[in-house]
């Protein structure tokens, strides 16, 4: 008892002596607090240690947020040669005072704080820090003191969604990933999306499921329900990928969210959960992005039509896959296909995939398809387009050009209104529009057109106010791209694109831009 009293007196004398001592700094000491985590309701141990060269005594205050952490106990863990007093009576603070007897205190644990993790404990951790540090050497002189804060975090079963970039007609995958290390064995969740922008095609299980059963159903457009269950706890990692198909050509950031998340451990006990949502960015393809054309489609008198799949790889595309969709009453015959191009036929659908060791640069004709039993106008749709670069790197954005089977025996084109602009100057306005040209006859029994002379005509109230010719254009592989530009001193209410063939005949190319009263209508 006398020894304890003397030691306490010694500590007090050292502390008071320190207050009057010169503020000369000697060797350093660091108080270090551990970082821990646990599930809601669990108790965890936070250790407070001292690392020093020549510290004999000291005191400091530990602070924590009592609204986020519940302190269960605070006790000394110091060695017998160290006298350490720990006082956690005040909410949010723990006071620590210590002193050695005959030798400096080196690396040691001074005390242990036991916290209970609550529902308010953040998943990112709540800080546990040391403040008001005073450390002294054998002579009661202050030494340089520092602190390394710790934290207590709430473990949760965390589901997160990846974010992706895509374009019209493309398939895009959104991965659902499990993290947290809480021995999740099963659960269910709702995956929501904008049905005006995306639609669900399938849900693919990933390795993180460990072959555990998984079911899914689209309850209504925009709402996908997924359930899974395993006999043992699943590791952290990808659970599944939701395969979506874009159904809009409008550029937008479309949110994908997780709601109604319920996860369970191996004993069917509910787990604390958190989610991170994602975004699917629907982008407008640029001139640098690969382009996939469906060319042709001129309907013949015998009810047949022929199309070709043409790829402009832009020097980055090494392979890919897509689905070609058509009316189930029609039959499709693959007449030719390039080496490495695989085609699987189903009712109303062709699944196409191909690969190359080197990227495609010039236009490549992947395949030619002849349709029979065509009844009137029929759309040839393109779905689930996914291209890959070197090393199977996914290409996010592909410019897709579908086609329509119809009674048409001339060159046709698509005017890209998103790439239409109006520039103003002192002399008037200049209108520029991007045009994709395809020869409808090339894959029919007619005579293919290989060259055309495009022209852009500007009108104001039916009166021609501007005209520009682009010169001769060659259709390589039955396709071509051009930009047409014409100036007018007056406001333009209508613009038309014309082609002149080798015989000198003019024919309208596209009627997509029949009214352009101002710059905003032109996409500026």
Convert the pLDDT of each residue in 332-362 to its tens digit: 999 988 888 999 999 999 999 999 999 998 8
Each residue's pLDDT tens digit, 445-484: 667 778 888 888 898 888 999 999 888 888 888 898 888 9
Strands 93-100 and 157-161: unpaired
Return the CATH fold of 291-405.
Answer: Immunoglobulin-like (2.60.40)
Q: How many degrees, rounded to 5, is the angle at CA 59 between CA 124 and CA 135?
A: 100
Annotated domain spans of the chain:
2-155, 157-282, 291-405, 411-522
Residue 462 Rama label (left phi>0; alpha psi -120 to 50; beta): left
- Across the range 430-435, mean pLDDT stands at 88
Please give the helix or strand (H or E) that residue 8 lies within, else none.
Answer: helix 2-20
Mean pLDDT, all residues of the chain: 87
Confidence of residue 505 (pLDDT cuts 50, 70, 90): low
Selected residue with higher pLDDT from 322 and 453: 322
pLDDT at 12 exceeding the cut of 60: no
Question: How far, CA to CA in Å, does 423 sit from each of 436, 469, 486, 491, 524?
Answer: 22, 18, 11, 12, 8
Q: CA-CA distance, 42 to 35, in Å (whole number)? A: 15
- Two domains, one topology: 157-282 and 411-522: yes
Q: CA-CA distance, 209 to 232, in Å (whole number)? A: 10
Return the CATH fold of 157-282.
Answer: Immunoglobulin-like (2.60.40)
DSSP 296-359: E-BPPTTS-EEEEEEEE-TTTEEEEEEEEE--TTSEEEEEEE-TT-EEEEETTEEEEEEEEEEE
Each residue's pLDDT tens digit, 38-78: 999 999 999 999 998 889 999 999 999 999 999 999 999 99
Q: CA-CA distance, 51 to 251, in Å (whole number)? A: 57
What is the token pair recorded at 326?
């058509």
- What pLDDT does residue 502 have? 59
Q: CA-CA distance, 506 to 450, in Å (whole number)? A: 16
- What pLDDT does residue 354 have? 95
End-to-end CA distance of the chain: 89
Q: What class has domain 2-155?
A: mainly beta
Helices (H), ranges, 122-228: none
Share of the chain above pLDDT 70, in %: 90
Question: How far, CA to CA in Å, does 1 sit from each of 8, 85, 294, 313?
Answer: 11, 16, 95, 88
pLDDT at 131 exceeding the cut of 60: yes
pLDDT at 124 exceeding the cut of 70: yes
What is the token pair recorded at 418?
């998103």
pLDDT at 514 exceeding the cut of 50: no
Determine contact, residues 244/198, Cβ cutoff 8 Å. yes
In 10 A of CB 336, how many CB atoms? 12
Q: Would you mind telling me the total number of residues written for the chain in this entry? A: 524
Alpha-carbon Rg of the chain, whole angstroms? 36
Q: What class has domain 411-522?
A: mainly beta
Nearest to 333 by CA among 291, 290, 373: 373
- What pLDDT does residue 516 have? 46
- What pLDDT does residue 503 have? 59
pLDDT at 2 exceeding the cut of 80: no
- What pLDDT does residue 447 have? 73
pTM for the whole structure: 0.74
- Across the range 145-174, mean pLDDT stands at 94
What is the token pair recorded at 504?
């000198």
């Amino acid at each position: 008892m006398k020894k304890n009293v003397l030691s306490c007196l010694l500590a007090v004398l050292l502390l008071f002596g320190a207050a009057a001592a010169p503020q000369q700094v000697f060797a350093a000491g660091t108080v270090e607090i551990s970082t821990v985590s646990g599930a809601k309701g669990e108790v965890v141990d936070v250790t407070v240690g001292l690392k020093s060269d020549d510290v004999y005594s000291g005191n400091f205050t530990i602070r924590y947020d009592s609204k986020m952490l519940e302190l269960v106990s605070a006790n000394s863990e110091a060695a017998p040669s160290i006298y350490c007093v720990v006082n956690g009576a005040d909410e949010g603070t723990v006071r620590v005072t210590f002193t050695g007897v005959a030798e400096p205190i080196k690396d040691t644990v001074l005390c242990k704080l036991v916290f209970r993790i609550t529902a308010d404990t953040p998943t990112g951790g709540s800080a546990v820090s040391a403040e008001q540090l005073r450390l002294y050497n054998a002579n009661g002189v202050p030494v340089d003191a520092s602190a390394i804060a710790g934290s207590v975090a709430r473990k949760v079963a965390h589901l997160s969604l990846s974010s992706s970039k895509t374009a019209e007609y493309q398939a895009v995958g959104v991965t659902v990933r499990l993290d947290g290390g809480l021995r999740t064995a099963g659960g269910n969740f709702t995956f929501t999306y904008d049905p005006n922008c995306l639609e669900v095609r399938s849900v693919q299980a990933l390795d993180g499921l460990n072959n555990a059963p998984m079911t899914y159903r689209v309850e209504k457009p925009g709402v996908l329900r997924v359930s899974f269950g395993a006999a043992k706890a699943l590791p952290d990692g990808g659970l599944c990928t939701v395969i979506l198909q874009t159904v809009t050509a409008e550029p937008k950031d479309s949110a994908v969210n997780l709601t109604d998340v319920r996860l369970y451990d191996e004993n069917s006990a509910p787990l604390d959960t958190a989610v991170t949502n994602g975004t699917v960015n629907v982008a407008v393809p640029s001139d640098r992005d690969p382009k996939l054309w469906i060319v042709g489609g001129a309907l013949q008198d015998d009810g047949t039509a022929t199309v070709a799949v043409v790829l402009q790889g832009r020097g980055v595309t090494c392979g890919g896959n897509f689905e070609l969709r058509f009316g189930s009453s029609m039959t499709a015959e693959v007449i030719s296909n390039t080496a490495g191009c695989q085609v699987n036929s189903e009712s109303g659908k062709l699944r196409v995939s191909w690969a190359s060791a080197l990227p495609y640069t010039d236009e490549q004709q992947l395949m030619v398809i002849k349709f029979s039993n065509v009844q009137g106008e029929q759309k040839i749709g393109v779905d689930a387009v996914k291209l890959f670069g070197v090393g199977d790197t996914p290409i996010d954005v592909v410019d897709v050009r579908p086609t329509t089977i119809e009674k048409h025996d001339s060159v046709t084109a698509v005017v890209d209104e998103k790439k239409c602009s109006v520039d103003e100057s002192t002399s008037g306005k200049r209108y520029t529009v991007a045009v994709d040209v395809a020869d409808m006859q090339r894959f029919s029994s007619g005579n293919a057109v290989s060259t055309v002379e495009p022209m852009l005509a500007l009108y104001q109230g039916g009166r021609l106010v501007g005209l520009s010719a682009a010169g001769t254009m060659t259709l390589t592989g039955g396709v071509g791209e051009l930009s047409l530009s014409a100036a007018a001193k007056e406001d333009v209410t209508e613009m038309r694109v014309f082609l002149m063939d080798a015989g000198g005949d003019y024919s309208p190319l596209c009627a997509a831009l029949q009214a352009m009263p101002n710059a905003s209508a032109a996409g500026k």
